[in-house]
């Protein structure tokens, strides 16, 4: 097999004709021209390479694009049937990044459980998947304030034959339980006494629906909006009423937001300022409404509160 093509280091064993690339003289002329522009008082838009390694927001502005980690979950972040990036989180991110001077966003799809590792390993700049903000995740990433609040629901077989309405029912009735990779619902089931090794972890809500329809499991847990959406086309399964899982014995309402790498506080803070403006003006609800969000999902909770103070 031929070895992969490598660009040789500049000037060393470069086989291209010398006329193809810039000569030392033309490079110096370019530098001189830029200097002259500066001296004449003309400003130049910074390019990505100018701000390499600096503040992420400066870099994104220079690049003109922010990469969003999404998990193919309707209605939070997904590619629609026309191949377009959409969902509550990407649509909100588009508006906020534009206001921050970043013209475009670009999707990087992955599984939900790979969002935090993908963010940490620079696969994307921000997680825009409606991720719930909780103390465990706050050890690994920093969050914007939540843009919505949410309850959970289950996918069950039509008629809900085992009568599963919350995690206590699941444990009591020894139901076969599934949820998605990396989902917060794993910890909720465990908190209620379900053995972690007995949980079937599937890649996403569509696989969860299939598992319920085929009888491999009795129940799949997800956000109320995710579950409601995915059962729409099923003749064999339905969504339960939304409910609040118990955390430390008390009903818990989740809040979802955007996750950033721990040292990107500048970007997170700038993002929060714009998010708060959208909350105040009511634009936030207008952006989220097409995805099934209502006034009930609007929240004043903060990331600090959800991270545990």
- The region of 101-109, 117-125, 178-186, 237-245 touching ligand 6CS under the rule CB under 6 A is 178-186
Distance from C-alpha of 149 to C-alpha of 293, rounded to nearest angstrom: 9
In contact, 255 and 301? CB cutoff 8 Å:
yes
- The region of 35-43, 49-57, 90-98, 124-132 touching ligand 6CS under the rule CB under 6 A is 124-132
Q: Is 272 in the site for ligand 6CS (CB under 6 A)?
A: no
Interface with ligand 6CS in residues 95-114 (CB under 6 A) = 112
Q: Is 211 in the site for ligand 6CS (CB under 6 A)?
A: no
Residue 63 vs 179, nearer CB to ligand 6CS: 179
Query: Token pair for residue 252?
Result: 């818990």
Q: Is 146 in the site for ligand 6CS (CB under 6 A)?
A: no
Alpha carbon separation from 288 to 140, 158, 276 (Å, rounded): 27, 29, 15
Residue 255 vs 270, nearer CB to ligand 6CS: 255
- Of all residues in the chain, what percent are helix, strand and coil, respectively (each to 5)? 40, 20, 40
In contact, 79 and 109? CB cutoff 8 Å:
yes
With contacts defined by CB under 6 A, how many residues of the chain interact with ligand 6CS?
Answer: 13
Q: Detail the DSSP E strand segments found in 71-161.
A: 78-79, 85-86, 104-109, 126-132, 142-143, 148-150, 152-157
Closest distance of CB 180 from ligand 6CS, Å: 6
Q: Is 132 in the site for ligand 6CS (CB under 6 A)?
A: yes
DSSP-assigned letter for residue 139? T
Give bridge partners of residue 70 from the DSSP assignment: 109
Distance from C-alpha of 198 to C-alpha of 108, rounded to nearest angstrom: 31
Q: Is 223 in the site for ligand 6CS (CB under 6 A)?
A: yes
- The region of 44-52, 99-107, 118-126, 183-191 touching ligand 6CS under the rule CB under 6 A is 183-191
Out of 229, 256, 259, 288, the only residue in the binding site for ligand 6CS (CB under 6 A) is 256
Residue 25 vs 232, nearer CB to ligand 6CS: 232
Query: Token pair for residue 235?
Result: 């003749």
Binding site for ligand 6CS (CB under 6 A): 73, 76, 112, 130-132, 180, 183-185, 222-223, 256
């Amino acid at each position: 097999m031929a070895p992969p093509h490598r660009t040789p280091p500049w000037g060393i064993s470069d086989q291209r004709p010398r006329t193809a690339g810039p000569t030392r003289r033309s490079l110096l002329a370019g530098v001189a021209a830029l200097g002259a522009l500066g001296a004449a008082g003309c400003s130049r838009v910074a390019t990505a390479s100018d701000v390499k390694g600096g503040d992420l927001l400066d870099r994104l502005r220079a690049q003109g694009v922010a990469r969003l980690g999404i998990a193919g979950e309707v209605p939070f972040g997904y590619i629609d049937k026309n191949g377009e990036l959409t969902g509550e989180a990407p649509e909100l991110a588009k508006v906020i990044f534009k206001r921050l001077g970043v013209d475009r966003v670009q999707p990087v799809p992955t599984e939900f459980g790979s969002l935090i590792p993908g963010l940490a390993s620079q696969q994307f700049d921000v997680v825009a998947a409606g991720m719930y903000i909780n103390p465990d995740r706050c050890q690994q990433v920093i969050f914007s304030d939540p843009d919505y609040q949410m309850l959970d629901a289950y996918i069950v077989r039509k008629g809900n034959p085992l009568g599963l309405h919350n995690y206590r029912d699941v444990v009591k009735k020894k139901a076969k339980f599934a949820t998605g990779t990396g989902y917060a619902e794993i910890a909720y089931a465990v908190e209620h006494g379900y053995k972690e090794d007995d949980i079937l972890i599937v890649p996403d809500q569509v696989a969860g629906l299939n598992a319920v329809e085929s009888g491999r499991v009795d129940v799949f847990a997800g956000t109320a909006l995710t579950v409601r959406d995915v059962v729409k086309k099923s003749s064999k399964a339905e969504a339960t009423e939304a409910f609040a899982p118990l955390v430390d014995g008390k009903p818990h309402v989740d809040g979802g937001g955007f996750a950033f790498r721990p040292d990107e506080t500048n970007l997170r803070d700038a993002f929060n300022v714009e998010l708060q403006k959208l909350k105040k003006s009511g634009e936030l609800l207008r952006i989220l409404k097409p995805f099934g969000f209502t006034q009930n999902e609007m929240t004043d909770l903060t990331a600090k509160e959800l991270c545990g103070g």
